[in-house]
Amino acid sequence: MKKNWNLLENLTRCELDKDFPTALSFYKDAVSKNIHLNHRHFNILLSLCATCLCDPKAKPIDNSLRSDIHRIGYKIFNHMLASNIKPTEADMTPLVVIAATRKKGDIAFRLVKDMRFYNLCPTLSSCRIPLSFFCENLEVDKAYSVEEYMVSMGVKLEEKEIVALLEISALYERAEKVYSYLQKLRESVSCVSETTAQILKNWFSLKSASKMGKLDWDVGLVKEAVLKNGGGWHGLGWLGKGKWKFSRSRVGSDGSCSGCKEILVDVDIDLAETEKLAELIASLSFDKEITATFRNFQEWLHNHNLYDSVVDGKNAGHSEYGGFRPSKLILVVKELYNKNKSPLAILDDQHLREVSKAFPAFLNQWRDQQLFHSAPNGASDWFCLYAAVKRKCLIVTNDSINSNPKFLILGNNFFLKWKEQYQVRFSIVDAAAKLKMPPPFSSVIQMASKLN
């Protein structure tokens, strides 16, 4: 086997130029000279197979190459396997794309499912290809089966996919499916796009939409379901029959709708998911000593549950000129106290010492009222996040509170939604803290509380 150092350079240039024909000639040349190809070479070649079919900016290919591309793609893929290279999803996705462009949706879906043979878990990037193929070609049951497969693999759908499924379900008048996708849309997208709004409008103006729905229901049961879901939605299916009215209206800063006069509610995060988030935060790994202190803190928190807000002490006292200013923290805590949002300040040990030095009287008073808790240096934000999630109370910080990759288990938007609902930001103006509370209502699909 010979090595050719120029091959990668040449293929990379083709990749940039989106030039499959030239890349193919380099490949053929390499094969004829018995040159060893590595994973990167194969991956460029495979992705170019798909690029030249779907990217309008790709270098044009003639018809004979176009009709042969699936054969070439498989040949390259099999060559890669024969070279003992374990494929990744990125290597297989081009084959899925090629199948879909050849109108072979079943093959595209099978390829996605075949990823398991290589110990790969497909993600949205490959699953969305057969899904959108079946939606575009109106093969409704096949589209549902791709979605079921995605759910079974833990792949979350995004707005585009949910809406495609919703649209095709509306077309086939599958009212229960429309309802379930509406629910999924509600769970994963906060504010829908203009295109989605139009598709929803189309559904609600259909005759079948007015005919669906139960005629009686148990009001108590509905109320209970709404409460369990955190507000704004009962999830019990279509209730009532009759023509829908579709209109656009403005929502005031207090959440009141100018159209129907209902008030949008602050939809709470699902209880089970919140508990899971708290567990995930608790499972983040730190060194032994910090973890031991954290276990004590968990126990302490369990017995002290009368807080409405948790203050990230390090952030509240953070000075824009660097360093820590105890007076800023005190202003924030005072303001929360005045606003009846019983605060718990969580402070790194070193900052606690600074507060105690500068304002000993305050610290004593706080101690009596149990308004603070210390944390090992550098760990206070972790303690703070846990306390806020666990106790379902406000978190006071100007920090962006970045999501940890572990939280993705709960879905991309979950942590963002949690933040939107629980984070209080603050500013210090004229020696007083001004708090910016989370919005009083959630920007999410909601159902009217008056069911009629």
Site size toward Zn ion, by CB under 5 A? 3
With residue 372 as reference, give the H or E element that holds it: strand 372-375
- Residue 260 in contact with Zn ion, rule: CB under 5 A: yes
Q: Three-state DSSP class for 359?
A: coil
Taking residues 133 to 152 in sequence order and writing x for each that binds Zn ion by CB under 5 A, - otherwise, the string is --------------------
Integer Cα distance of 249 and 204 in angstroms: 16
445 close to 187: Cβ distance less than 8 angstroms: no
Binding window for Zn ion (CB under 5 A); candidates: 3-11, 260-268, 289-297, 359-367: 260-268
- Residue 451 in contact with Zn ion, rule: CB under 5 A: no
Q: Which is nearer to Zn ion, 4 or 449 (CB)?
A: 449
Q: Measured between alpha carbons, how far is residue 42 from residues 120, 389, 426 in Å?
A: 18, 46, 53
* Least Cβ distance, residue 232 to Zn ion (angstroms): 12
Q: Which is nearer to Zn ion, 58 or 251 (CB)?
A: 251
Q: Which is nearer to Zn ion, 190 or 404 (CB)?
A: 190
Q: Which is nearer to Zn ion, 227 or 448 (CB)?
A: 448
Q: Which is nearer to Zn ion, 260 or 408 (CB)?
A: 260
- DSSP letters for 416-451: HHHHHHHEEEEEEETTEEEEEPPPSS--S----SS-
Q: Which is nearer to Zn ion, 159 or 262 (CB)?
A: 262
* Least Cβ distance, residue 256 to Zn ion (angstroms): 9
- Residue 408 in contact with Zn ion, rule: CB under 5 A: no
* Least Cβ distance, residue 262 to Zn ion (angstroms): 5
* Least Cβ distance, residue 260 to Zn ion (angstroms): 3
Residue with tokens 């507060």: 355
Identify the residue among 259, 360, 378, 440 touching Zn ion (CB under 5 A).
Answer: 259
* Least Cβ distance, residue 239 to Zn ion (angstroms): 17
- Nearest residue (beta carbon) to Zn ion: 257
- Residue 257 in contact with Zn ion, rule: CB under 5 A: yes
411 close to 184: Cβ distance less than 8 angstroms: no
Integer Cα distance of 176 and 226 in angstroms: 19
What residues form DSSP beta bridges with 432? 429
| Backbone phi, psi, residue 158, to 5° | -105, 175
Q: Which is nearer to Zn ion, 169 or 446 (CB)?
A: 446
Q: Which is nearer to Zn ion, 350 or 443 (CB)?
A: 443
- Cα angle 96, 195, 420 (rounded to 5 degrees) comes to 95
- Residue 360 in contact with Zn ion, rule: CB under 5 A: no
Taking residues 211 to 250 in sequence order and writing x for each that binds Zn ion by CB under 5 A, - otherwise, the string is ----------------------------------------
* Least Cβ distance, residue 214 to Zn ion (angstroms): 22
Q: Which regions of 292-360 does DSSP assign to beta strands (E)?
A: 309-312, 343-348
Q: Three-state DSSP class for 16?
A: helix
Contacts of 328 (CB under 8 A, 6+ apart): 316, 317, 318, 319, 428, 433
Residues of this chain that interact with Zn ion (CB under 5 A) are 257, 259-260
